[in-house]
């Protein structure tokens, strides 16, 4: 880059000073040029002038990342966070205890179904319980008679076998009830409990409706944890590993998340690598189905000094990509080498060390003033 000394033209300096109301900005260009006669590629501006020109300053951070992959993504429910409540047996719905949007705790009764099948199951439980009571009584009697040498051992063995079979029958009947729900106030009613704690996001049945077995009644979602679905090219996927940090951004808010899963197989249709990001939603600020942007941090390789900056910060000066680094008296144009572009950011592979502050939005103003300075100095 050609070097030269430059200060803000008088018209710009006066206009910016008028906006800021300062007197320090009234210095003439000649005075600035004398003060910075030895400086190269410099645009001299005060803090007030920078604010008036609406030049945005951003820090250059080289700690931990060499850039970001900025990709479109969609928020989805955690597969383990959604449960469907179905009527395990057919019957008439006599109670629906929650409405859409209400919260429920795991184990609370959501639905009560009345049916003949429920009456049969609970009847089987009572019959099996009665048979077990009788069998145990007979076993106790046979044990006593055998001890008194009144009854033969064969009778004792038969009584013990009958008691065991009765216990198995009762356990089976209870398991059948557990598979359909639990008892609810009458022989012909079963209650369907909530399988997890969460929020009711779907209710497809009506009170009094007759439903068949396996009919969906409620849908519950635990939305404290969500998943974000992302698709990457094979080249991008090769740069990252599960566990890297991801920034999720959407409609005026953002959150840090973690890459949980990176598929080892390309999608057959898109030829992209599916990835899943785990997103904390304990504050309920994100919604399922929402379109967002996922910025995946790229880890630094040993000896790799690459960092990323906003694309608007990079200007072409004398045919070279450059950035304007903030100095004590204004900005200095610095040549850099650039790498891949990802979303609104671009990699800087050489020229910055990290820790600097550079001009982002408004850097084109500095480029324009730099060009004017060159013209005035006959370059």
pLDDT per position as a tens digit, 266-317: 999 999 999 999 999 888 889 888 999 888 877 655 555 567 788 899 999 8
Whether pLDDT at 167 is above 50: yes
The larger pLDDT score, comparing residue 348 to residue 171, is at 171
Q: Which residues pair with 279 in a beta bridge?
A: 226
- Torsion over CA: 298, 250, 234, 245 (sign): positive
Instruction: Summarize pLDDT for 204-221 with one digit per residue, the tens.
Output: 888 888 888 888 899 998
Instruction: Summarize pLDDT for 31-59 with one digit per residue, the tens.
Output: 444 444 445 678 888 888 888 889 988 88
Report the topology of domain 10-62+305-376: 2.40.420
CATH class of 67-78+223-299: mainly beta
- The reply to whether the predicted model has a pTM over 0.85 is no
Give the CB-side neighbour count of residue 206, counting CA atoms within 13 A.
2
Question: Average per-residue pLDDT in the chain?
Answer: 80
For the chain, the C-alpha Rg in angstroms (whole number) is 37
CATH architecture classification, 85-221: Beta Barrel (2.40)
Confidence band (pLDDT; 50, 70, 90) for 75? very high
Contact yes or no for 81/157 (Cβ under 8 A): no
Q: Got the DSSP string for 252-284?
A: TEEEEEEEEEE-SS--TTT--EEEEEEEE-TT-
Q: Where are the domains of the chain?
A: 10-62+305-376, 67-78+223-299, 85-221
CA dihedral 22, 24, 25, 26 (to 10 degrees): 100
């Amino acid at each position: 880059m050609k070097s030269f000394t430059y200060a803000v033209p008088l018209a710009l300096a006066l206009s910016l000073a008028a906006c800021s109301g300062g007197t320090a900005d009234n210095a003439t260009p000649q005075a600035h040029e004398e003060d910075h006669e030895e400086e190269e590629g410099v645009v001299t501006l005060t803090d007030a002038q920078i604010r008036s020109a609406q030049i945005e300053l951003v820090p250059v951070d080289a700690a931990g990342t060499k850039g970001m992959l900025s990709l479109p993504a969609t928020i989805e429910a955690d597969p383990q966070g959604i449960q469907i409540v179905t009527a395990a047996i057919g019957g008439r719905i006599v109670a629906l205890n929650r409405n859409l949007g209400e919260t429920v705790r795991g184990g609370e009764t959501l639905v009560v179904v009345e049916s003949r099948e429920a009456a049969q199951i609970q009847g089987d439980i009572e019959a099996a319980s009665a048979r077990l009571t009788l069998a145990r009584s007979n076993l106790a009697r046979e044990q006593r008679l055998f001890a008194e040498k009144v009854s033969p051992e064969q009778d004792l063995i038969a009584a013990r076998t009958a008691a065991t079979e009765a216990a198995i029958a009762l356990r089976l009947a209870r398991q059948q009830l557990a598979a359909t729900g639990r008892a609810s106030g009458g022989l012909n009613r079963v209650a369907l409990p909530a399988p997890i704690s969460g929020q009711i996001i779907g209710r497809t049945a009506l009170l009094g409706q007759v439903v068949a077995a396996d009919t969906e009644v409620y849908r519950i979602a635990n939305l404290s944890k969500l998943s974000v679905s992302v698709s990457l090219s094979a080249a991008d996927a090769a740069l990252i590993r599960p566990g890297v940090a991801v920034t999720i951004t959407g409609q005026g808010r953002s959150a840090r998340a973690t890459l949980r899963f990176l598929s080892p197989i390309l999608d057959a249709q898109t030829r992209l690598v599916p990835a899943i990001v785990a997103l904390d939603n304990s504050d309920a600020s994100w919604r399922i189905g929402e379109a967002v942007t996922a910025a995946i941090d790229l880890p630094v390789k040993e000896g790799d000094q690459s960092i990323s900056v906003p694309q608007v910060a990079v200007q072409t000066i004398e045919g070279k990509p450059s950035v304007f680094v903030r100095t004590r008296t204004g900005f200095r144009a610095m040549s850099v080498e650039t790498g891949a572009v990802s979303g609104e950011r671009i990699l800087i592979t050489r020229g910055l060390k990290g820790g600097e502050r550079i001009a982002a939005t408004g850097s084109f103003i500095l480029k324009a003033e730099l060009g004017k300075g060159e013209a005035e100095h006959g370059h």
